[in-house]
């Protein structure tokens, strides 16, 4: 029996789809059977990010309508044996699925997969309610911006009200230099308000844009900092105790240089 | 007079375990209020937690926050000019007492690291540091 995790945020564009794709890919590389569900009906993205768009025949609405069987709609990843995607419908809207149908769908997938990861749409309306309906755990994504943190706080309140307690937080698009200069909210500032456990921090990284445009996941890129950050998140989800990377340390060409020439 | 209170944003069935009626006039809220959550109460409200930005409390009596107050509060919402607001970190988005509305000055990030109390003094909302054990303590009842 698997675990069902929803990835949500409130605010749009903060990295839910990127995180869903990378966490799912990362879990699959370690041999786990993973199903990703795109619940952003009408604005589907996850298929594109994973480079699977051209394989879609059926989608989530077809499944809940009974137009096809679940197995027919699940798309196998091109590289990873254990990774599967249930795509959103593009020509319908959020009302094409209801929370009861989602619960049923999740229960079905849970029997066969180790991890079911749900990519939630932005907002707090029906798309959000659908996405969380079948979930057992929640990951909240935010960026270090006041508005994104405010929305994350709202979402955490709504998750608690729906009995999804103790969500875990991902802070995405951190720019260590700006934080150092006091121009960006720090991790501490954010945790101070949200008061939830940190699952990981992802730096701002152009490799995310590059890999996403190629339909690949940055988690597979061994050289990038964001890939490393996602690999750490995956290990934490698996229960390992991995320290949060200190982005300052990683930043440090100058630091290295200083160490070499002996300045502390 | 019967006390009425409306608590919203917490989902269903969560009211009973969230706060206990301390006495006829005061409720104790043992949790943090997150953005979008609100409490409207006919009496005093004591919060053991934070009031986050985007959260709101309105009370006809006093409001005491044993944590950071970053949202909007309205004490003396029925017009009581003697109502006070007390918080361990008083950093409200907006603070109202009776018919007075104040907000922190723009461009001035204040982070008081000690308890403070807001009340109406000579017709204006004033904020003073709140010393436990000091003479002013007796004011908050
Ligand atoms: N750490 C990062 N560094 C650089 N770019 C990033 C980072 N994280 C996300 N992005 C980019 O930001 C954009 C939005 O990301 P994504 O689609 O994952 O957000 P989302 O929360 O799913 O958005 P929506 O609410 O529209 O579904 C994408 O173009 C993505 O490539
Ligand atoms: Mg998305």
* φ/ψ of residue A172, rounded to 5: -105, 155
Residue B5's pLDDT band, with cuts at 50, 70 and 90, is low
Tens digits of residue pLDDT in A28-38 = 999 999 999 99
Does residue B48 have a pLDDT over 80?
yes
pLDDT for the residue B16: 36
Tens digits of residue pLDDT in A209-236 = 999 999 999 999 999 999 999 999 999 9
Please name the residue that has the structure tokens 């149908």.
A101
How many A from CA of A85 to the centre of ligand 2?
A: 14
Furthest-apart CA pair in chain B: how many Å? 44
Q: Determine which of A174-188, A198-212, A234-248 has the lowest per-residue pLDDT on average.
A: A234-248
Residue A253's pLDDT band, with cuts at 50, 70 and 90, is low
Q: In Å, how far from its chain's centre is CA A142?
A: 11
* % of chain A beyond a pLDDT of 70: 93
Tens digits of residue pLDDT in A63-99 = 999 999 999 999 999 999 999 999 999 999 999 999 9
Residue B66 covered by a domain? yes
Q: Which residues of B touch A192 (CB under 8 A)?
A: 68
Return the best residue to mutate from A12, A13, A143 for the ligand 1 pocket (most ligand atoms within 8 A of CB).
A13
Cβ atoms of B75 and B97 closer than 8 Å: yes
Q: Which among A157, A193, A195 is the nearest to B37, CB-wise?
A: A157
Residue B137 covered by a domain? no
Looking at residue B102, which CATH number applies to its domain?
2.160.20.70
The angle subtended at Cα B87 by Cα B82 and Cα B92, nearest 5°, is 90
What one-character-per-residue DSSP string does chain B give?
A: ----EEEESS-TT-HHHHEEE-SSSEEEE-SPBPTT-EEEESSEEEESS-B-TT-EEEESS-EEEEEEE-SEEEESTTS-TT--EEEEEE--SEEEETTEEE-PPTT------S-EEEEEETTEEEEEE--TTSGGGGG--
pLDDT for the residue B8: 63
Residue B1 covered by a domain? no
Work out the number of other CB atoms within 10 angstroms of the CB of residue A64. Answer: 20
Residue B61 covered by a domain? yes
The sheet with strand B5-8 has its strands ordered as B5-8, B38-41, B56-59, B72-75, B94-97, B100-102
Taking all residues of chain A, what is their mean pLDDT, rounded to a whole number?
93
Please name the residue that has the structure tokens 């180790």.
A114
Does residue B112 have a pLDDT over 80?
no
Residue B86 covered by a domain? yes
Residue B39 covered by a domain? yes
Residue B130's pLDDT band, with cuts at 50, 70 and 90, is confident
Q: What is the mean pLDDT of residues A232-253?
A: 81
**Integer Cα distance of A17 and A14 in angstroms:** 9
Q: Which domain holds residue B69?
A: 24-129
Cβ atoms of B56 and A157 closer than 8 Å: no
The DSSP code for A95 is G
**Integer Cα distance of A199 and A22 in angstroms:** 14
Does residue B21 have a pLDDT over 80?
no
Residue B23's pLDDT band, with cuts at 50, 70 and 90, is low
Cβ atoms of A73 and A63 closer than 8 Å: yes
With 0-12 / 13-18 / 19 or more C-beta atoms within 10 angstroms meaning exposed / middle / buried, residue A172 is buried
Q: Which residues of A touch B50 (CB under 8 A)?
A: 193, 195
Taking all residues of chain B, what is their mean pLDDT, rounded to a whole number?
82
Instruction: Pick the more confident residue, A138 or B22.
Output: A138
Q: Determine which of A56-60, A70-74, B102-106, B124-128 has the lowest per-residue pLDDT on average.
A: B102-106
Half-sphere exposure at residue B35, Cβ-oriented, CA atoms within 13 angstroms:
19
Q: Which among A146, A157, A163 is the nearest to B9, CB-wise?
A: A157
**Integer Cα distance of A190 and A142 in angstroms:** 9
pLDDT for the residue B140: 41
Tens digits of residue pLDDT in A14-73 = 999 999 999 999 999 999 999 999 999 999 999 999 999 999 999 999 999 999 999 999
pLDDT for the residue B113: 84
Residue A254's pLDDT band, with cuts at 50, 70 and 90, is low
Q: What is the mean pLDDT of residues B82-102?
A: 95
CB proximity list for A170: less than 8 A, separation 6 or greater: A15, A19, A139, A140, A141, A142, A198, A199, A200, A201, A202, A233
Q: What is the CA radius of gyration of chain B?
A: 14
Residue B85's pLDDT band, with cuts at 50, 70 and 90, is very high
Looking at residue A122, which CATH number applies to its domain?
3.40.50.300
Q: What is the mean pLDDT of residues A198-210?
A: 97
Q: Which residues of A touch B9 (CB under 8 A)?
A: 157-158, 161
pLDDT for the residue B20: 42
Q: How many domains does chain B have?
A: 1
Q: Which domain holds residue A196?
A: 3-261
Work out the number of other CB atoms within 10 angstroms of the CB of residue A112. Answer: 15
Does residue A255 have a pLDDT over 50?
yes
Q: Is A130 in the pocket of ligand 1 (CB under 6 A)?
A: no
ipTM over 0.85: no
How many A from CA of B82 to the centre of ligand 2?
A: 50
Q: Which residues pair with A75 in a beta bridge?
A: A85
Residue B103's pLDDT band, with cuts at 50, 70 and 90, is confident
Q: How many domains does chain A have?
A: 1
* φ/ψ of residue B100, rounded to 5: -95, 135
- What distances in angstroms separate CA A17 from CA A21, A25, A200, A252, B2, one per listed residue? 6, 12, 16, 29, 50
Q: What is the mean pLDDT of residues A234-263?
A: 72
The tokens of A13 are what? 């564009």
Atom of ligand 1 nearest to the CA of A11: 25
Tell me the residue ranges of DSSP E strands in A143-204. Answer: 168-174, 197-203
Residue B104's pLDDT band, with cuts at 50, 70 and 90, is confident
Return the best residue to mutate from A6, A12, A18, A124 for the ligand 1 pocket (most ligand atoms within 8 A of CB).
A18
DSSP H or E segment with residue A117: strand A115-119
Q: Which among B11, B12, B53 is the nearest to A150, CB-wise?
A: B53
Q: What is the CA radius of gyration of chain A?
A: 18
Residue B19 covered by a domain? no
């Amino acid at each position: 029996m698997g675990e069902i995790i929803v990835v949500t945020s409130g605010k749009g564009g903060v990295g839910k789809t990127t995180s869903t794709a990378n966490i799912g890919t990362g879990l699959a590389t370690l041999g786990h059977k993973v199903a990703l569900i795109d619940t952003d009906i009408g604005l589907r993205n996850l298929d594109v990010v994973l480079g699977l768009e051209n394989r879609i025949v059926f989608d989530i609405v077809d499944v809940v309508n009974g137009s096809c069987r679940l197995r027919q709609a699940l798309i196998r990843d091109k590289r990873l044996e254990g990774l599967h995607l249930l795509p959103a419908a593009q020509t319908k809207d959020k009302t094409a699925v209801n929370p009861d149908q989602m619960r049923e769908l999740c229960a079905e997938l849970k029997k066969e997969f180790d991890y079911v990861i749900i990519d939630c749409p932005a907002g707090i309306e029906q798309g959000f309610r659908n996405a969380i309906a079948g979930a057992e755990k929640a990951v909240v994504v935010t960026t270090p911006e006041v508005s994104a943190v405010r929305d994350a706080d709202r979402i955490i309140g709504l998750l608690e009200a729906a009995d999804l307690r103790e969500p875990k937080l991902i802070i995405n698009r951190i720019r260590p230099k700006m934080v150092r200069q006091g121009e960006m909210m720090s991790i501490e500032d954010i945790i101070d308000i949200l008061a939830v456990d940190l699952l990981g921090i992802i730096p701002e990284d152009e490799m995310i844009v590059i890999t996403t445009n190629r339909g690949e996941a940055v988690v597979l890129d061994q050289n990038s900092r964001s890939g490393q950050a996602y690999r750490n998140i995956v290990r934490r989800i698996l229960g390992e105790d991995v320290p949060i990377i200190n982005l300052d340390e990683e930043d440090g060409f100058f630091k290295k240089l200083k160490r070499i020439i002996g300045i502390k | 007079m019967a006390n009425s209170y409306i608590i919203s944003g917490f989902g269903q069935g969560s009211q009973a375990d969230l706060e206990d009626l301390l006495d006829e006039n005061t409720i104790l809220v043992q949790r943090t209020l997150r953005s979008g959550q609100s409490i409207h109460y006919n009496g005093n409200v004591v919060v053991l937690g934070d009031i986050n930005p985007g959260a709101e409390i309105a009370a006809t009596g006093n409001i005491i926050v044993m944590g950071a107050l970053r949202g909007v509060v309205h004490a003396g919402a029925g017009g009581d000019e003697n109502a006070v607001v007390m918080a361990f970190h008083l950093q409200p988005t907006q603070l109202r007492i009776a018919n007075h509305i104040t907000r922190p000055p723009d461009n001035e990030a204040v982070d008081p690291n000690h308890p403070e109390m807001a009340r109406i003094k000579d017709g204006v909302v004033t904020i003073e540091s709140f010393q436990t054990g000091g003479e002013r303590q007796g004011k908050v009842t």
